[in-house]
C-alpha cells in the first residue's frame, strides 16, 4: 500500500467542515457587500444609462479559453469559459499542466456533449511519470468545472506509470467538478486512478455520474474518485454521485465509488451494476524477493506467495483493502450510500468487504446487497460508528429499510433499488 502524506486531525460532526467553509465565504461576501453597497446602485444606473452605447463583445471563439468577463449587478467580475469541443478540453488540461494558476479563478462550463473518440488526452492535473512526484503539489485543478448536465463519452487515458489519472488527474483544495456524466471511459494509471478525479485533495465532486467503462490501476483505484482527503483545512467531499456498470481493477485500496479516503465526507452516493455489468476486481502485485527471502520464508506469510517468472523467484502480494463501495476508509464519514458491485478476487485476499474493505471511519445508514459471500466490512479498526446493512433483493426496494434517507428530494426507487432523483429525472 502506498504511503501518502496526508494532514489528519479528529473531525467534528459530518457536515461541520462544509459549514465552516460556507460561513467563511458568507463573512467575506458580507464585508464586500458592505463596502460596495453604496456604489452598487450608482454602478447599476450608470450601466443602464450607457446600455445603448456600443459594447465590446465578450464572446469567445470556439477554440479560445480566454475567460469572458461577466459583471454581476454590483460590478463584480465573474470569469467564465464555455467548452464545446474536445480540443478545448485538451487545452484546459495543457493550461493546468503548465502550472498556470489563473485557471483557479475561472468557471469552465460545458455547453455540449463531447465525444473523445480518437482524442489524445492527458488528464487535467496529475503527473504522467511517478518520478515527477516532486511536481505533484503544483499540478492540480483548482477551478470550477460545471458539466451543466452534459456527457463526455469515450474518454481514454493511458498513463501506466502515473500519479493521478482520470478526466482530472488531481484536484486541489477549492476545486469543484459538478453536473457531469462520463460514459464508457477507459482509464489506465498506477496510483490514484479513477474515471472522474484521480486524487481529490480538498475539492468537491457533486452530482456526477460514471456509466460503464473500465478503470485500471495499482493503488487507490475507484470508479469515480481514486483517493480523497483533506488539504488546507478543506475536507474533500463527494455528494450525490453514481457509478453504474463500471469495471474497476487494482491491487490495493480498490472500491466501486472511491479507492481510499482520509478525513473526507461522502454522502448520498452509490456504486451499482447496470444490466448485469460492473465489478470490483483485485489482482496480484509482483515484487522481487528481498535479501534473505526464499520460497520457504514466504510460506504461510500473510498476503504473500512465492512464484517464479522466467525462472526467477518473485513474491506476489495478494490484493487487499477491496470493497464494493470503498476500498479503504480512514477518518471519513460515509453516509446514506449504497453499493452492490460484485467483487472478483482470490479467496486468500485480505480485508475484503461487500461495502468496505477496511474501515477506520464512520459508516452511517449505508446499505449493501446480501448474498455476496463477503461481510459488509472486511476489517474494522477503532470505528466510531459502523452502520452497514446487507439487504435482500426484496428489501432493497422497500423505502422503509432506509429510515434516514430522503426519498422526497434526494432519492427515489427504480428497478427495486435506490436511485438518485436527479438521475431518475433524466430517464
DSSP 234: B
Rounded CA gap, 179 and 150, in Å? 7
Rounded CA gap, 280 and 277, in Å? 11
Query: Partners of 176 in the beta sheet?
Result: 144, 204
Give CA separation, 144 vs 103, 106, 315, in Å: 9, 6, 44
CATH T-level fold of 71-283+319-424: Pectate Lyase C-like (2.160.20)
Share of the chain above pLDDT 90, in %: 63
Q: What backbone torsions phi and psi does residue 89 show, to the nearest 5 degrees?
A: -65, -40
Indicate the burial class of 43 (C-beta count within 10 angstroms; 0-12, 13-18, 19 or more).
middle
Rounded CA gap, 203 and 8, in Å? 16
Rounded CA gap, 61 and 55, in Å? 17
Q: What is the pLDDT of residues 270-285, one digit of tens each?
A: 999 999 999 999 988 8
- The pLDDT, as a whole number, for residue 320 is 87
Indicate the burial class of 8 (C-beta count within 10 angstroms; 0-12, 13-18, 19 or more).
exposed
Q: Span 421-426, mean pLDDT?
A: 93
Rounded CA gap, 255 and 262, in Å? 14
Query: Chain centroid to CA 105: how far?
Result: 21
For residue 241, the SS3 value is coil
Share of the chain above pLDDT 70, in %: 79
Cell matching residue 363: 459508516
Give CA separation, 95 vs 98, 120, 200, 277, 330, in Å: 5, 15, 19, 36, 33
Q: What is the model's pTM?
A: 0.82
Rounded CA gap, 252 and 345, in Å? 11
Q: Span 152-181, mean pLDDT?
A: 95
Q: What is the pLDDT of residues 309-361, one digit of tens each?
A: 888 999 888 888 999 999 999 999 999 999 999 999 875 666 899 999 999 99
Using DSSP bridges, classify how beta strands 77-83 and 68-71 pair: parallel, antiparallel or unpaired: antiparallel
Query: Chain centroid to CA 294: how far?
Result: 40
Query: Partners of 281 in the beta sheet?
Result: 249, 344
Q: Terminal CA-to-CA distance of the chain, rounded, Å?
A: 40
Q: What is the pLDDT of residues 197-228, one digit of tens each?
A: 999 999 999 999 999 999 999 999 999 999 99
Q: What is the pLDDT of residues 409-420, one digit of tens each?
A: 999 999 999 999
Decide if 186 contacts 193 (C-beta within 8 A).
no
Cell matching residue 52: 445603448
Rounded CA gap, 113 and 147, in Å? 9
Q: What backbone torsions phi and psi does residue 52 show, to the nearest 5 degrees?
A: -90, -5
- The pLDDT, as a whole number, for residue 69 is 65
Give CA separation, 373 vs 42, 245, 354, 368, in Å: 69, 20, 8, 12
- Give domain limits for the chain: 71-283+319-424, 284-318
Rounded CA gap, 198 and 91, in Å? 19
Decide if 200 contacts 173 (C-beta within 8 A).
no
Q: Residue 306 pLDDT > 50, yes or no?
A: yes
User: How confident is residue 50, by pLDDT bands cut at 50, 70 and 90?
Assistant: very low
Rounded CA gap, 359 and 363, in Å? 8
Q: Residue 129 pLDDT > 70, yes or no?
A: yes
Amino acid at each position: 500500500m502506498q504511503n501518502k502524506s496526508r494532514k489528519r486531525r479528529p473531525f467534528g460532526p459530518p457536515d461541520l467542515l462544509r459549514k465552516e467553509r460556507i460561513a467563511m465565504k458568507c463573512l467575506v461576501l458580507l464585508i464586500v457587500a458592505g463596502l460596495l453597497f453604496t456604489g452598487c446602485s450608482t454602478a447599476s444606473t450608470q450601466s443602464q444609462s450607457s446600455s445603448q452605447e456600443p459594447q465590446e463583445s465578450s464572446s469567445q471563439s470556439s477554440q479560445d479559453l480566454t475567460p469572458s468577463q461577466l459583471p454581476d449587478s454590483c460590478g463584480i467580475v465573474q470569469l467564465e469559459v464555455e467548452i464545446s469541443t474536445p480540443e478545448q478540453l485538451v487545452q484546459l488540461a495543457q493550461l493546468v499542466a503548465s502550472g498556470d494558476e489563473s485557471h483557479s479563478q475561472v468557471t469552465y462550463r460545458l455547453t455540449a456533449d463531447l465525444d473523445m473518440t480518437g482524442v489524445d488526452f492527458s488528464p487535467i492535473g496529475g503527473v504522467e511519470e511517478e518520478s515527477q512526484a516532486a511536481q505533484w503539489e503544483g499540478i492540480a485543478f483548482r477551478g470550477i468545472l460545471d458539466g451543466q448536465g452534459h456527457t463526455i463519452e469515450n474518454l481514454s487515458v493511458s498513463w501506466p506509470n502515473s500519479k493521478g489519472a482520470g478526466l482530472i488527474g488531481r484536484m486541489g483544495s477549492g476545486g469543484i467538478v459538478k453536473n457531469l456524466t462520463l460514459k464508457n471511459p477507459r482509464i489506465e494509471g498506477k496510483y490514484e486512478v479513477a474515471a472522474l478525479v484521480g486524487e481529490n485533495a480538498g475539492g468537491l465532486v457533486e452530482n456526477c455520474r460514471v456509466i460503464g467503462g473500465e478503470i485500471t490501476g495499482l493503488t487507490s483505484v475507484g470508479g469515480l474518485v481514486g483517493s480523497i482527503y483533506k488539504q488546507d483545512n478543506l475536507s474533500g467531499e463527494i455528494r450525490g454521485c453514481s457509478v453504474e456498470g463500471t469495471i474497476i481493477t487494482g491491487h490495493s485500496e480498490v472500491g466501486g465509488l472511491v479507492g481510499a479516503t482520509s478525513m473526507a465526507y461522502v454522502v448520498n452516493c452509490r456504486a451499482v451494476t447496470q444490466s448485469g455489468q460492473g465489478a470490483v476486481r483485485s489482482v496480484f502485485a509482483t515484487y522481487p524477493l528481498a535479501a534473505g527471502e526464499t520460497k520457504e520464508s514466504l510460506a504461510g506469510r500473510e498476503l504473500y506467495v512465492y512464484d517464479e517468472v522466467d525462472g526467477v523467484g518473485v513474491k506476489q502480494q495478494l490484493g487487499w483493502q477491496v470493497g464494493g463501495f470503498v476500498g479503504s476508509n480512514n477518518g471519513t464519514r460515509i453516509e446514506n450510500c449504497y453499493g452492490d458491485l460484485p467483487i472478483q478476487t482470490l479467496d486468500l485476499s485480505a480485508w475484503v468487504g461487500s461495502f468496505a474493505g477496511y474501515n477506520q471511519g464512520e459508516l452511517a445508514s449505508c446499505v449493501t446487497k446480501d448474498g455476496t459471500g463477503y461481510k459488509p466490512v472486511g476489517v474494522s479498526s477503532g470505528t466510531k460508528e459502523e452502520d452497514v446493512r446487507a439487504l435482500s433483493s426484496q428489501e432493497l426496494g422497500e423505502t422503509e429499510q432506509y429510515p434516514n434517507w430522503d426519498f422526497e428530494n434526494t432519492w427515489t426507487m427504480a428497478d427495486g433499488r435506490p436511485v438518485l432523483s436527479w438521475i431518475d429525472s433524466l430517464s
